[in-house]
Amino acid sequence: MAATKKRTNPMLAALTTSALALPGLNVKADSAPEAASVGYRFYVYQEGDAPVDKLSSGSPERYSIYVNQFQLLAPLNESVSINFNYIQESMSGASPVGTEAGDGGESQLIMSAASIKESRRDVSSTVRWYAENGNLGMSVGVSNENDYDATYGGIDVERHFNKKNTSVKLASSVSSDTLSPTGRVDEQSKQFTQSKQSVSMVASITQLVSAQAMLQTGFGTTLLSGYLTDPYKALEGDVRPESKNQYTWSAGARIFFAAQDAAMHIGYRYYTDDWNINSHAVKLSWYQNIKYDIQLIPSLRYYVQTEAEFYDRYFTTARSDGFFSTDYRLSSYGAISAKLKYVQTLKRFSYTATIEWYDSSASYSYRNISFESPGLVNYVMFTTGLNFNF
């Protein structure tokens, strides 16, 4: 066969080369980030006070939390990266213990004393290997509080198909937790200690649908076992099953609007479990690029859940299965969250500031809820932080 020499259009060759040089466009292989980066965030989380007119006992001053968060991401070579994460939280304030019947039959809120002071430290690391058509990550972490310890780990693998138009991701994680509530002793007058475990699996698929849009959908399950009762609420009456099977279906879209130089994020998650809780969560974000490397990101999230089958605002007779709880988190309600984020990039630095308002209420549910838990939370969270790319 005679060798033939193809003529190459220099302009086309230059355009193709420059296109392939764009991040993420390399169809040859996934690869580690080219340079290391560090990030820091400081969060101030403040819950609104409990309603005094519905307070049975305890302090109305709910939680204030300050959080420091650090992250380091570094390439070890072209095909391996590692990241470290550190979170330190300082908490103070009172929290809802449960609800009970008031004189008129209405539910009254039992709060803890305001003297709760706690801290939590969470350290985790992920190593990621990048290959011809995908990547694999392995992570481990520990979370410590004076009354709660968790050790967790996970593995995830992503594979691209169809010239990277389609990606499939599988992830699995486990956690082993130990509870040792302050001031609570067992029958031998030793520290009351319990444990619980969880195993999670998620499978998702991502598909490019046009030059400006992509879709993702996934299924997940988490199986929890062990002591799932809240050890502090148990003192006022709270007994939950020792297993919980959770299932989720999620879907999302990313759409770029070239004329506006903006991206829209849409996300939805349906949740159901064998405690009879169902929920829907919808989130919409708009990433607006503005001059001078500024980005403004308004987001809205709507959440609604049904109550657990063993939840009630108070109990006058025991349930036949022996389970009961007045925890507001297991009640029926809806929640609305609004967030505004500002990002400014200056060469290798980027500065970020975020404010989020979160409000929950029975009236936000699309269902007709007869009795709202007086323990429902609302909060404001401020975030500020820096990222630096080496």
Partner 1 sequence: MKTHSARFKVGLILLLGLLSGCVAVQPWEREYLTKPEMLWTTDSMEATLEEHVYFSKEASSGGSTSAGGGCGCN
* Binding positions for partner 1, 263-322, rule CB under 8 A: 263, 269, 271, 273, 275, 277, 279, 281, 287, 289, 295, 303, 305, 308
- Distance (Å, rounded) from C-alpha 206 to C-alpha 216? 4
Cβ-based neighbours of 190, under 8 Å, separated by 6 or more: none
Q: What angle do CA 196, 201, 206 make, to 5 degrees?
A: 150
Question: Which residues make Cβ contacts (< 8 Å) with residue 339, sequence separation at least 6?
Answer: 297, 298, 299, 300, 301, 354, 355, 356, 357
Tokens (6 digits) for 283: 């989130």
Minimum distance, C-beta of residue 211 to partner 1, in the bound complex (Å): 4
Q: Which of 90, 94, 196, 88 is nearest to 148 (CA)?
A: 196
Find the binding residues for partner 1 in span 56-115 (CB under 8 A): 63, 67, 69, 71, 85, 87, 95-96, 112
Nearer to partner 1, 108 or 354 (CB): 354
Q: How far is the CB of 32 from partner 1 (least distance, A)?
A: 15
Among the listed residues 108, 248, 326, 373, the single contact to partner 1 using CB under 8 A: 248
Chain residues 138-197 in contact with partner 1, contact rule CB under 8 A: 139, 141-143, 145, 147-148, 150-154, 156, 161-166, 169, 171, 173-175, 177, 179, 181, 196
Give the containing element (helix H, strand E) for 16.
helix 10-20
Pick from 119, 246, 361, 389 the residue near partner 1 by CB under 8 A: 246
- Report the alpha-carbon distance of residue 112 to residue 116 in Å, rounded: 8
Q: Is 331 helix (H, G, I), strand (E, B) or coil?
A: coil
Nearer to partner 1 by Cβ, of 191 and 289: the residue is 289
Binding residue for partner 1, selected from 136, 205, 239, 362, defined by CB under 8 A: 205
Q: Which is nearer to partner 1, 107 or 287 (CB)?
A: 287
Please tell me the distance from the alpha carbon of residue 125 to that of residue 123, in angstroms, as a whole number. 7
Of 206-245, binders to partner 1 (CB under 8 A) are 206-212, 214, 216, 218, 220-222, 230, 232
Enumerate residues 336-355 that contact partner 1 by CB under 8 A: 341, 352, 354
Q: What contacts 271, CB < 8 A, 6 or more positions away? A: 246, 247, 248, 277, 278, 279, 280, 281, 305
CA distance 368 to 227: 32
Q: Please count the residues of this chain forming the interface with partner 1, following the rule CB under 8 A.
A: 110
- Interaction of residue 11 with partner 1, rule CB under 8 A: no
User: Residue 267 is which amino acid?
Assistant: G
The stretch among 15-23, 50-58, 99-107, 316-324 that binds partner 1 (CB under 8 A) is 15-23
Q: Could you tell me where the beta strands, DSSP code E, fall in 258-373?
A: 262-273, 278-290, 294-305, 333-346, 349-361
Which residue number, 107 or 232, has a Cβ lying nearer to partner 1?
A: 232
Rounded distance, CA 96 to CA 101, Å?
A: 15
Q: How far is the CB of 57 from partner 1 (least distance, A)?
A: 16
Residue 368 CB, shortest distance to partner 1, in Å, is 19
At closest approach, how far in Å is the CB of 317 from partner 1? 24
**What is the smallest separation between the CB atom of 78 and partner 1, expressed in angstroms?**
19
- Which residue in the block uniquely carries the two structure tokens 């690391």? 125
Q: Which stretch binds partner 1 (CB under 8 A): 39-47, 186-194, 234-242, 312-320?
A: 39-47
